């Protein structure tokens, strides 16, 4: 029988304008092609988000390889800035253009195509699971977490999982993610007393307090890095007063900080540090502070071992490149999967993701399918 074409499947997915939280038929395409091939498919929808669970083989088999990915995409921005239709999946000179071509409909198409061919041609003694969400680019509240909750309720289990996010900075095959940094965002408000700028002694200016606080946070060295992680980073991303007057000391101001942290910290330990710094500022400046914190994910690591070796072997066999095991980059849904089973990430070159004229080389999609096929072959050998 004819092999499943991952390029055509990618194009079909890209033509669905599935900007989070919309699906626009993307998961239906996958549901139909998987169910037609004998996968047991179920919807794990939650909170208005569509999530697809598909399994070939016996439920709960001790040798179950899983793939995880998403079909939702970020907004296109200004459509006039695109040289190609953002949901057209048009191919020019061997390059497909469109939102989601890189992040990550091509990755989903590649692992779906690999799985479809594999179970047809060499049915394994085991099971294959595809857990695909429509809520990764947003708050990720009702996406992969909903899939994992569904799996727990139904007695479904993956023994290992590969997330198909783009992982390679410049060349196909050069990087596998074995962990990710945690992410914490804190919104800080400082409140003093409004007054006339000519009589500062009659007011309590919150701005010097906020500036001192931001300087202390930004100047603090969080760590030197750990065995598998680069040093943690802290970025001040905005400071706001909303004060249009030059002769008025404002009553309050605010600032926002984002921290990407390694395994030397936790969200809780960083929260306590920030609270301590706020208390010092209150005592020094006589202001009041407010704090809101969102921990998008804790840092995690799948130590080098059988799973990373399996993926590395397949990547090198296909590309000739020995991939680096890395924990760099932002967050991904692997942060949820790591509580279920060992997880690593491997996918395409991600240079154009989230950009205008996002694109992917079509031969990279074919190559990615081949790598995923090798992984399945070696895993079930």
Q: Are residues 337 and 350 in the same domain?
A: yes
Hey, which bits of the chain come out as E strands? 40-43, 51-56, 64-70, 91-92, 95-97, 127-133, 160-163, 175-177, 179-180, 182-191, 195-196, 233-240, 248-249, 252-261, 288-297, 300-301, 324-326, 343-345, 359-361
C-alpha span between 216 and 91 (Å, rounded): 50
Identified catalytic residue from 23, 103, 117, 136: 136
Active-site residue, selected from the candidate residues 23, 72, 103, 358: 72
Per-residue pLDDT of 151-175, as tens digits, reads 999 999 999 999 999 999 999 999 9
221 and 128 inside one domain: no
Which residue in the block uniquely carries the two structure tokens 């909170």?
A: 47
Q: Give residue-wise pLDDT tens across range 341-356.
A: 999 999 999 999 999 9
Tokens of 303: 């130590």
3-state secondary structure of 76: coil
Clarify whether residues 315 and 326 are in a common domain.
yes
| Residue 2 reports pLDDT greater than 90 | no
CATH label of the domain that carries residue 135: 3.40.630.10
Quick check: helix, strand or coil at residue 144?
A: helix
Query: Over the stretch 24-66, which tens digit does the pLDDT of each residue have?
Result: 999 999 999 999 999 999 999 999 999 999 999 999 999 999 9
Instruction: Tell whether the model's pLDDT for residue 247 goes beyond 80.
Output: yes
Residue 1: its pLDDT value, please? Answer: 67
CA dihedral 327, 329, 335, 340 (to 10 degrees): -50
The reply to whether omega before 104 is within 30° of 0 (cis) is yes
Q: At what angle do helices 362-380 and 106-121 cross, to 10 degrees?
A: 40
Give the residue with greater pLDDT, 329 vs 319. Answer: 319
127-133 and 324-326 strand pairing? unpaired
Q: What is the mean pLDDT of residues 134-149?
A: 95
Average pLDDT over residues 267-283: 98
Mean pLDDT computed over 232-249:
97
Residues 159, 47 share a domain: yes
What's the rounded Cα separation, in Å, for the pair 227 and 73? 33
How much is the average pLDDT of 255-277?
98
Same domain, 137 and 208: no
Residue 207 sits in the same domain as residue 170:
no
Q: How far apart are CA 5 and CA 296, in angstroms?
A: 36
Domain count, the chain: 2
Measured in residues, the chain has a length of 381
Last residue of a domain, one of 263, 297, 331: 297
Q: Does residue 21 sit in the same domain as residue 100? A: yes
d(CA 68, CA 339): 14
* Statement to judge: residues 243 and 173 lie in one domain: no
Residue 147 lies in a domain: yes
Quick check: is 1 in a domain? no
Mean pLDDT score of the chain, rounded to an integer?
A: 97
- Distance CA(263)–CA(258), nearest Å, equals 16
Domain that holds residue 211: 182-297
* 72 included as an active-site residue: yes
Q: What is the DSSP string of 10-66?
A: HHHHHTS--BTT--TTHHHHHHHHHHHTT-EEEE--BTTB-EEEEEES-TT-SSEEE
Ramachandran angles phi, psi of 98, nearest 5°:
150, 155
334 near 355, Cβ under 8 Å?
A: no
Domain co-membership, 239 together with 369:
no
Of 195, 190, 185, 148, which is closest to residue 336 (Cα–Cα)?
148
CA distance 174 to 327: 13
| 136 is known as an active-site residue | yes
- How far apart CA 118 and CA 349 sit, in angstroms, is 24
pLDDT (tens digit per residue) in 79-138: 999 999 999 999 999 999 999 999 999 999 999 999 999 999 999 999 999 999 999 999
Give the domain CATH number at 257: 3.30.70.360
* pLDDT of amino acid 330: 85
Task: Kindly state the percentage of the chain with pLDDT values over 90.
Answer: 98
């Amino acid at each position: 029988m004819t092999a499943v074409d991952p390029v055509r499947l990618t194009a079909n997915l890209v033509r669905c304008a599935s900007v989070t939280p919309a699906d626009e038929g993307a998961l239906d395409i996958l549901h139909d092609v998987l169910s037609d091939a004998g996968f047991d498919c179920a919807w794990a929808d939650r909170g208005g988000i569509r999530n697809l669970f598909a399994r070939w083989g016996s439920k709960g088999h001790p040798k179950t390889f899983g793939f995880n990915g998403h079909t939702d995409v970020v907004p296109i921005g200004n459509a006039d800035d695109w040289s190609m239709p953002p949901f057209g999946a048009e191919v020019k000179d061997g390059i497909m253009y469109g939102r989601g071509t890189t992040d990550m409909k091509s990755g989903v198409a590649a692992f779906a195509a690999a799985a479809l061919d594999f179970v047809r041609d060499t049915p394994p003694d085991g099971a294959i699971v595809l857990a695909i969400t429509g809520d990764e680019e947003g708050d990720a509240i009702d996406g992969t977490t909903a899939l994992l909750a569904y799996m727990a309720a139904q007695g479904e289990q993956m023994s290992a999982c590969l997330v198909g996010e783009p992982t390679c900075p410049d060349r196909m095959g050069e990087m596998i993610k074995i962990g990710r940094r945690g992410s914490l965002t804190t919104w800080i408000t400082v409140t003093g007393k409004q007054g006339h700028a000519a009589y500062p002694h009659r007011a309590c200016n919150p701005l010097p307090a906020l500036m001192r606080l931001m300087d202390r946070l930004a100047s603090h060295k969080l760590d030197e890095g750990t065995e598998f992680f680069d040093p943690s980073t802290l970025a001040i991303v905005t400071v706001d007063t909303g004060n249009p007057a030059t002769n008025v000391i404002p009553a309050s101001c605010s600032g926002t900080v984002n921290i990407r942290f390694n395994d030397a910290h936790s969200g809780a330990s960083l929260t306590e540090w920030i609270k301590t710094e706020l208390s010092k500022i209150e005592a020094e400046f006589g202001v009041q502070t407010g704090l809101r914190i969102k921990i998008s994910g804790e840092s995690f690591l799948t130590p080098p071992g059988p799973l990373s070796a399996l993926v590395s072997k397949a990547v090198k066999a296909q590309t000739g490149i020995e991939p680096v095991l890395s924990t760099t980059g932002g967050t991904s849904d692997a942060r949820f999967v790591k509580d279920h089973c060992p997880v690593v990430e491997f996918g395409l070159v991600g240079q154009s993701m989230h950009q205008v004229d996002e694109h992917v080389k079509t031969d990279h999609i074919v190559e990615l399918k081949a790598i995923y096929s090798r992984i399945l072959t070696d895993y079930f050998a």
